[in-house]
């Protein structure tokens, strides 16, 4: 299997190793196409040509480059007498794969036999003429043309079907049955042929029940032949019996001849009658099997139609349920936003934020007004609550309650992930407590993500607390820390004057309690 994008041979990975294209769906499509090809091959071997055409058409629709399926589809069309469709598939196949392609050999073989090609062309023209006669109601002319068509192209299924209809229209149901049975020998499970056969047999069964004598052997022979071929004897004819008997030489010779006749008769029964019986039984078994296959084909077709209807109804039901669920979520989001605004106006910020967090952001509201109000309120609430958490943390530090301060600073970070001063204060507290791992984690975050968003002195202090290995791993970290201009879009430098002492020479962070209460501006 090769990549659809670059033509490289694919591996077991879901991505092409050459161009990186995602080939997961493509692999499934190719596998499904090959599966349909195998099913079509089985049906073609069983002479279910109509079923093979249906399955192989699906295979080439899924994967137009499935040369094997396209070649087999052409062979099946040709076996059904549809030469034009067969040539079309083979020409497409030859264009897809010009070298080492069986389709090229098929086309050369057909073109080499010019007589066969002319007969196919003439049969199609005569079939169209017969079809025109049939539409105009000239059934006799249509029957003549169709008989010529079948002499030129004995496998043209649609000619058998049209001829059957013409016989049925003229009331020649026995001929119609014989004609449709010839078509079913070529395509054993053709749905239209099976339908015509049922109609014919239903009519004949009805006629036999109404008038059993009306369909005797004599009447069938008269119907099946315009010239019954019977020879009649008039009253003036004289029948002279021939004497074929010879005088027997003796009684012994007569007995010997009788015995010889008995032996010959026994041998005839053994070598002629018995094989005929076996052949008849085999034919009966094959007819039963064919009838069973036809019934199964009809049932399978019905099942597929019902499954398609069920799938369509299920899809419509799911779409309705999804729409109803989405409408409910939109209604809930509108209610939550309204309640959050009411809580905010009532100066109950924690409740307002709690309600805002209940809004399902995965649902498309299809409203610019809603999105604008939600974003504005959420950003404003997040900023104000982050400032409040930071101020409470600073007050707790001043009171010597570092545990409470840690909680407040962590809540601040949860609310506003890039609140640099909160990381700085947490780093100092952990450093003072001897928890170097957590302290380094805070300072590493500042160095990696908050350059230019926190006071320069604090940034340099944090940079001095992290390992050289970490600094070397940062591709975008320059050697000159003065490139940090100290300007903050998030307002992380509001307490610059009060906290700058924390970034001094006291790297142990003991003077971090003197930090100011500047919040996120």
Same domain, 412 and 435: yes
pTM of the model: 0.42
pLDDT at residue 302 in the model: 84
Residue 279, domain member (yes or no): no
Same domain, 79 and 93: yes
Same domain, 55 and 176: no
pLDDT at residue 129 in the model: 92
Same domain, 396 and 504: yes
pLDDT at residue 74 in the model: 92
CATH number of the structural domain spanning residue 101: 1.25.40.10
Q: How many CA atoms lie within 13 A of 519 on its CB side?
A: 19
Residue 431, domain member (yes or no): yes
Same domain, 178 and 207: yes
Strand partners, 9: 2
pLDDT digits (tens, 9 = 90+) for 295-351: 888 888 889 888 888 988 988 888 887 777 888 888 888 888 888 888 888 878 778
pLDDT digits (tens, 9 = 90+) for 347-372: 787 788 788 778 887 877 778 888 88
Number of domains in the chain: 4
Residue 91, domain member (yes or no): yes
Same domain, 153 and 197: yes
Cα 469 from Cα 462, distance rounded (Å): 15
Residue 3, domain member (yes or no): no
Mean pLDDT rounded to a whole number for the chain: 79
Q: At what angle do helices 173-186 and 157-169 cross, to 10 degrees?
A: 170
Of residues 104 and 2, more confidence is placed in: 104
pLDDT at residue 72 in the model: 93
- Percentage of the chain surpassing pLDDT 70? 82
Same domain, 201 and 215: yes
pLDDT digits (tens, 9 = 90+) for 274-296: 888 888 888 888 888 888 888 88
Of 311, 333, 364, which residue constitutes the final position of a domain? 364
Same domain, 404 and 510: yes
Residue 273, domain member (yes or no): no
pLDDT digits (tens, 9 = 90+) for 149-197: 999 889 899 899 999 999 998 889 889 999 999 988 998 888 999 998 8
Q: How far is CA 401 from CA 6, 64, 127, 184, 433, in A?
A: 65, 74, 101, 95, 13
Same domain, 506 and 492: yes
Residue 425, domain member (yes or no): yes
Helix (H, G, I), strand (E, B) or coil at 358: coil
Closest among 37, 113, 109 to 73, alpha carbons compared: 37
Same domain, 402 and 310: no
Same domain, 510 and 385: yes
Res. 449: pLDDT tops 60:
yes
Res. 91: pLDDT tops 50:
yes
Of 64, 79, 112, which residue constitutes the final position of a domain? 112
Of residues 138 and 379, more confidence is placed in: 138
Residue 10, domain member (yes or no): no
Mean predicted confidence (pLDDT) in 100-128? 88
pLDDT at residue 75 in the model: 93
Of 224, 241, 257, which residue constitutes the final position of a domain? 224
Residue 172, domain member (yes or no): yes
Q: Domain range holding 220?
A: 118-224
């Amino acid at each position: 299997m090769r990549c659809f994008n670059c033509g490289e041979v694919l591996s077991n990975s879901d991505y092409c190793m050459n161009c990186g294209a995602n080939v997961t769906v493509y692999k499934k499509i190719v596998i499904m196409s090959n599966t349909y090809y195998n099913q079509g091959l089985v049906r073609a071997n069983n002479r279910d040509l109509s079923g093979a055409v249906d399955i192989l058409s699906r295979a080439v629709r899924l994967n137009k480059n499935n040369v094997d399926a396209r070649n087999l589809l052409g062979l099946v069309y040709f076996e059904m007498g549809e030469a034009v469709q067969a040539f079309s598939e083979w020409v497409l196949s030859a264009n897809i794969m010009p070298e080492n392609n069986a389709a090229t050999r098929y086309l050369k073989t057909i073109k080499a036999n010019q007589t066969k090609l002319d007969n196919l062309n003439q049969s199609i023209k005569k079939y169209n003429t017969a079809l025109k006669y049939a539409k105009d109601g000239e059934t006799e002319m249509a029957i003549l043309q169709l008989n010529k068509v079948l002499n030129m192209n004995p496998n043209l299924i649609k000619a058998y079907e049209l001829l059957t209809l013409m016989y049925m229209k003229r009331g020649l149901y026995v001929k119609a049955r014989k004609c449709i049975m010839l078509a079913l020998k070529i395509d054993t499970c053709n749905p239209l042929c099976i339908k015509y056969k049922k109609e014919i047999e239903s009519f004949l069964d009805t006629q036999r029940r109404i008038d059993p004598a009306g369909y005797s052997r004599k009447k069938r022979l008269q119907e099946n032949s315009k010239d019954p071929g019977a020879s009649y004897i008039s009253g003036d004819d004289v029948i002279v019996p021939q004497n074929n008997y010879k005088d027997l030489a003796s009684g012994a010779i007569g007995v010997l001849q009788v015995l010889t006749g008995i032996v010959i008769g026994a041998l005839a029964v053994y070598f002629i009658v018995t094989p005929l019986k076996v052949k008849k039984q085999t034919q009966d078994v094959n007819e039963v099997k064919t009838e069973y296959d036809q019934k199964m084909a009809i049932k399978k077709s019905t099942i597929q139609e019902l499954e398609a209807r069920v799938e369509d109804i299920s899809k419509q039901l799911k779409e309705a349920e999804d729409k109803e669920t989405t409408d409910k979520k939109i209604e809930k989001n509108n209610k939550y936003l309204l309640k959050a605004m009411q809580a905010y106006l009532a100066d109950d910020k924690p409740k307002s934020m709690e309600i805002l967090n209940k809004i399902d952001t995965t649902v498309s509201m299809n409203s610019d007004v809603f999105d604008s109000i939600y974003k504005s309120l959420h950003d404003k609430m997040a900023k104000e609550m982050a400032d409040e958490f930071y101020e409470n943390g600073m007050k707790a530090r001043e009171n010597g309650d570092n545990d409470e301060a840690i909680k407040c600073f962590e809540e601040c970070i949860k609310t506003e992930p890039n609140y640099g001063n909160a990381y700085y204060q947490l780093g100092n507290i952990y450093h003072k407590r001897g928890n170097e791992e957590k302290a380094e984690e805070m300072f590493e975050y500042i160095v990696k993500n908050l350059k230019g968003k926190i006071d320069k002195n604090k940034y340099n202090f944090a940079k001095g607390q992290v390992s050289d290995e970490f600094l070397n791993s940062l591709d975008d970290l320059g050697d000159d820390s003065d490139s940090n201009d100290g300007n903050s879009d998030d307002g992380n430098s509001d307490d610059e004057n009060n906290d700058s002492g924390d970034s001094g020479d006291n790297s142990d962070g003991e003077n971090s309690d003197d930090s100011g209460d500047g919040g996120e501006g």
